[in-house]
Amino acid sequence: NPYRMAPPAESSEPDVNSRVDAAASEGVSGRSTVEAAVRAVSTRAHDAPPLLCTLGRQLPTILPSTDPASSVLRLLWLLQALAVHWTCLFSATELAELGTNGDAALPPSAFVNRKLNAKLLRQLQDPLALCSRSLPSWCSALTAECTFLFNFDARRLFLHSTAFGLSRALQRLQQHSQEGGTSSSSERSEFRLGRLPRQKVRISRSRVMDSAFKVMELYASHKALLEVEYFGEVGTGLGPTLEFYTLVSLELCRSELGLWLSEERPPPADGEAADTSHVHTPYGLFPRPVAQKAGGVGVPARTLSLFTFMGRFVAKAMLDNRLVDLPFSTPFYRHLLGHELGLADLQALSPQLGSSLRQLHELALERRRLLRANAPAAQIDSLSLQGCAVGDLGLDFTLPGYPDIELVPGGADVGVTIDNLSEYVQLVLQMLLLDGVRAQMEAFVGGFSEVFGAERLRAFAADELDLLFNGMRERWDRETVIEQLKFDHGYTRASQAVSFLLDILTEFTDAQLRQFLKFVTGSPRLPVGGLARLSPRLTIVQKRPEAGMAADAYLPSVMTCANYLKLPDYSSKAVMKERLLTAINEGQGCFLLS
């Protein structure tokens, strides 16, 4: 059982430090070190699946065992796992006393090998090696199994250069060359390639999901860049395409689809309407559990079809260097990466349920400790949660919040007691995080792998996958924004209108900033690297009024294909903010000439 919790340490055993020291004394090479480390933590780990899964895995033989670097790799692999999952060595009480927030003991950059990182980047600049697929074997081996040796940018470049097809790899190499990666014009001319082929499709806004299903079914695995247009609209190019990915992302979050775990929505603020059409997921998207048998039997066919479509949709966005707007939870990414999920993941999804289940789990551990100590039955029966006996909590063997999902046959009629509490906790975790979502996640991976292999994602951590899928969410300050914007056709950095705009942008709420980005670019998200990596650069130009008209009478307009904001020279900051918000809120959902 992947969610079986390890028993607490007996008082007669040596402490964790002595066990780890003993493990280290066996040497750093070979399998014995990993096995010794597993033994060192297995009797103390409070929530240990992530650590045990990592330490218990056989590190592939990248180098011969006689190579001096082999033992170094194994030691680094072990130390990195301990640095990330060190909290598994302590109980919840001990962690509370330490006052830790669970962050890694060392930052990821501490394990990056600068020489290897630079060598990998040099290999990826060799067009002959890319064309002949003759990169050295260590490139794929180390980026797959020792990902911590390379920074995010290097691993991302390796993915783009090896998983997305030769034409995209060479296009990226040409782009690097044109940005100054080579030293002479003769070298740059060697990389003159034609544009990637485009596949244009035209869809109806009123049936965006039906259209998207068909588009992904036909073109997701095609190597051509997908470009989307809308019936009855003249807009073409990047803007409408980015909006397509945003619109479909929003549709996939509709409550009526029943795809996601959701929490009760808080009451709306004064003057705001409650949005009940979309799921409320403050901690990110995670599949809604469904009672199922082997092969996904029991899961509605529509649900599986939607998750398959979603996998194609996300992979196609990655392939074409587009962004989706699906705020997946960290446990979703961990599941996608094949990690073991446990109580910590449940707490990340639902802090209230996770906290309650952790208290029950600790009570079950206390019962186990008393049983091992041959404590009197009366002492065991007296165990309670905040003064209430487990049998009086009114729990049964159904999934909390889902009374139709029984954890055991006839579970609605089986009460939870102190004697079966441990099994109850395990079964809840098993259903919520594994069994109840297995078919949905397999469908997502299956759809994703139709475009390129989902196993290639394992070179990244959960937070890095969110960057690859959804791009960056960043707050803007005035100094950063002015450095990344371009001013033209009537405006300079010193213009009064530019000063007004910078003040307004830095005052925007997160929701307003998302709407502004969607208005200007077609997507509410920024690419990896933030505003600095937006291509083309966001350009502010002056929108001149017609003769006899005042600038205050005009609304701003945009050219999303060029990331142009056409901004009238308003008389005041207040007028600009009001007109800009009006344009943002009312100018969505259509691409016309401006």
User: How does residue 56 score in pLDDT terms, banded at 50, 70 and 90?
Assistant: low
Residue 2: asked if its preceding bond is cis (omega within 30°), the reply is: no
- The reply to whether 416 falls in a domain is yes
Last residue in a domain, options 68, 89, 111: 111
Q: What is the secondary structure of 40-67 as a DSSP string?
A: HHHTT-SS-HHHHHHHTSPPP--S-TTS
CATH of the domain at 300: 3.90.1750.10
Do 317 and 446 lie in a common domain? yes
Section 515-523 average pLDDT: 89
Of the residues 253, 388, 561, 590, which is catalytic?
561
Cα–Cα distance measured from residue 92 to residue 362, given in angstroms and rounded to the nearest whole number: 9
Bridge-based pairing of strands 198-203 and 225-230 is: parallel
Question: HSE of 84 in the Cβ direction (CA atoms, 13 Å)?
Answer: 18
Do 120 and 251 lie in a common domain? no
CB 485 within 8 A of CB 565: no
Adjacent-strand bridge partners of 398: 406
3-state secondary structure string across 381-434: HCCEECCEEHHHCCCECEECCEEEEECCCCHHHCECCCCCHHHHHHHHHHHHHH
Any idea which of 95-104, 265-274, 345-354, 558-567 has the lowest mean pLDDT? Answer: 265-274
Distance, CA of 245 to chain centre: 16
Output the pLDDT for position 34.
36
User: How does residue 589 score in pLDDT terms, banded at 50, 70 and 90?
Assistant: low
Q: Is 561 a catalytic residue?
A: yes
Tokens 């929505």 sit on residue: 265
Output the pLDDT for position 54.
62
User: How does residue 35 score in pLDDT terms, banded at 50, 70 and 90?
Assistant: very low
Q: What is the secondary structure of 502-535 as a DSSP string?
A: HHHHHH--HHHHHHHHHHHHS-SSBPTTGGGG-S
Bridge-based pairing of strands 539-542 and 564-567 is: parallel
CB 225 within 8 A of CB 244: no
Domain tally, the chain: 5
- The reply to whether 149 falls in a domain is yes
Give Cα separations from 354 to 46, 161, 335, 350 (angstroms).
15, 41, 17, 6
Do 214 and 321 lie in a common domain? yes
CATH of the domain at 515: 3.30.2410.10
Cα–Cα distance measured from residue 52 to residue 460, given in angstroms and rounded to the nearest whole number: 19
Q: Is the pLDDT higher at 106 or at 449?
A: 449
Do 328 and 215 lie in a common domain? yes
Sign of CA dihedral 324, 327, 328, 331: positive
- The reply to whether 499 falls in a domain is yes
CB 73 within 8 A of CB 28: no
Do 457 and 319 lie in a common domain? yes
**pLDDT of 184 above 60:** no
Output the pLDDT for position 472.
86
Do 305 and 401 lie in a common domain? no
Do 308 and 203 lie in a common domain? yes
- The reply to whether 10 falls in a domain is no
**pLDDT of 269 above 70:** no
Q: Which parts of 64-221 fold into alpha helices (H)? A: 68-85, 92-98, 114-123, 127-131, 137-145, 152-162, 166-176, 185-189, 208-219
Section 149-176 average pLDDT: 90
CB 520 within 8 A of CB 592: no
Amino acid sitting at position 423: E
pLDDT in tens, 204-236: 988 999 999 999 999 999 989 999 999 988 777
Do 335 and 442 lie in a common domain? yes
- The reply to whether 96 falls in a domain is yes
- The reply to whether 128 falls in a domain is yes
Section 560-585 average pLDDT: 92
Section 120-132 average pLDDT: 91
Of 18-32, 350-364, 468-482, the range with the highest mean pLDDT is 350-364
Q: Convert 104-120 to b/e letters by CB count within 10 Å (16 or more is b).
A: eeeebeebebeebbebb
Do 528 and 572 lie in a common domain? yes
Give Cα separations from 251 to 207, 255, 470, 587, 589 (angstroms).
11, 9, 16, 19, 14
pLDDT in tens, 374-412: 989 889 888 999 889 999 999 999 999 999 999 999 999
Give the Cβ contact number of residue 65 at 10 Å.
11
Last residue in a domain, options 111, 127, 149: 111
Do 178 and 231 lie in a common domain? no
Nearest to 23 by CA among 70, 79, 61: 79
Do 206 and 324 lie in a common domain? yes
**pLDDT of 180 above 70:** no
Do 535 and 486 lie in a common domain? yes
User: Which are the contacts of 155, defined by CB distance < 8 A and separation ≥ 6?
Assistant: 143, 147, 459, 460, 464
- The reply to whether 9 falls in a domain is no
- The reply to whether 488 falls in a domain is yes
Write down how long the chain is.
Answer: 594
Any idea which of 68-77, 154-163, 179-188, 387-396 has the lowest mean pLDDT? Answer: 179-188
Range of the domain at 371: 346-435
In percent, the amount of the chain with pLDDT more than 70 equals: 82
For the chain, give the mean pLDDT.
83
